[in-house]
A = this chain, B = another copy of it.
Amino acid sequence: MARRIIVIGSGAAGMSAASAAKEGDPSAEVTVFTEDEDVAYSPCAIPWGIEGRIGWDGIVMHTPEFYEKERGIKVYTKTKVDSVDDSAKTVSAAGKMYPYDSLVLATGGKVFIPPIPGADLGNVFVVRTVRNGKDIQAAAKNASKVVIGGAGVIGLELAVSFRNMGKDVTVIEMMDQVIPRIADGDMAGIVQRNLEEMGVKFVMKAPIQSVNGDGKVSSVTAAGNEYPCDLMIFATGVRANLDIPKAMGLDVGQLGALIASPTMQPYRRGRLVPDVYVAGDLVQCESAVMPGATMSQLGSTAVKQAYVAGSNAAGLPPKVFGPVASPWVSVIGGLQIAGTGLSSGLASWYGIRVAEGISEGSTRARYYPGGKMLRVKVLGDRYTRRIVGAQIIAGEEATGRIDWLTSAIVSGWTADDFMARAENAYCPPTSMVVDPVVSAVWDLCNKLGQ
């Protein structure tokens, strides 16, 4: 009898797990349940969709019909799963019972909205689904003043999109810098100044107290001041969506997300739950930088976990998902900013004392025309000399470099290992003979002392 594989969730994790499972066992019956109306889209693309730089059809990779016809995967959209019984191995949805041999939970995350008055007013949005994006785009037509709550990466990407649409944009942030958790103040400051030059206004160290209006938002109050607006977006982070996992009694870790084994299986009271797999924003990861858990919540992480979960759900030879440094990148107002591992702030929060190596160079040889700025910062643990984090701001070519530094971090390289073992390709039109990544690590070695 064909193996029955059920996937709950249709984001990057859910659809990738379904595809990996079907690819691993082509004879399997793979079924996806999702409350969403669209599947397999990139939530990271929504800021550019709102601005109209990319079409909504473009960011939806495939339709449910495509999955059914081309991949042999059945997708039930707008279908809520009511319960899972993992001893009977059944899923109950829309009044019907579906038996499974393997189950993948990929229910993702929910945007966290601070519990403040008025958050449910009209023209107040979050950015998670294509539907959210379309609603914001429609509302933006008649809006001139936009307030964005939260100066994280998504908040800043939205700020640029709305400026490009000619709106008056104010970003309100509780902390004293933009991209507060994952970027250092000096790097974040470059991004903020660049956005200020584009006309984005910032209100820092200002917790949002209320959203005000009569039916629709007309202003936002933060740190005692009122900011008029006719459109407001909460970009205040994502929490794991644990409705089903909690009903199943699965173990939740100290970061408020599911604990998973390297094989991407969840636990119940410390024991692996047979034939159940998890992937995506609802899972906490093992950190590659220090003992303990970390939240990744990146599309790229979700897809990687999904390959493991899907492949294992299909009964292939076991695959494992390793500890993460969680590299990220964004383009904010023409500048690429990227990071991996710990920021200085996170390191300090964990009690890790770091030294900083910094280098400013170019994406080409200094004498070659057209080079763009490339600033690299590398953080090293003062005790072990291990590289524990890095950040890059550049006009171009940040992505491969942050992935390179990520490999060094997950390999446990010290700054000295990096100097002895890392190599960089060189050609005047693409790079400096000593890449700023290497120069930054060299500076870090000096800061750590001989």
Contacts and interface: CB of A to CB of B under 8 A. Distances in A.
Interface in A319-334: 319-322, 324-331
A300 B426 contact: yes
Interface stretch (A186-194, A240-248, A391-399): A391-399
Contacts of A329: 425-427, 430-431
B45 A367 contact: yes
| Interface size range on A against B | 35 or more
Given A316-B450, A437-B403, A54 B425 contact: no
Nearest to A340: B425
B406 A331 contact: no
Interface string A397-436: 1111111101110110000000111111111111101110
Contact of A407 (B44, B407, B426, B433): B407
B406 A403 contact: no
Interface string A336-352: 10101000000000000
Interface of A: 12, 42, 44-45, 48, 53-55, 58-59, 61, 288, 298-301, 303-304, 307, 316-317, 319-322, 324-331, 336, 338, 340, 365-369, 396-404, 406-408, 410-411, 419-431, 433-435, 437, 442, 450
What are the 8 closest A-B residue pairs judged by CB atoms, nearest first? A400-B400, A58-B367, A327-B425, A400-B401, A329-B425, A404-B404, A300-B426, A331-B429
Given A42-B428, A331-B430, A336-B430, 4 more contacts: A48-B428, A288-B421, A329-B426, A329-B427
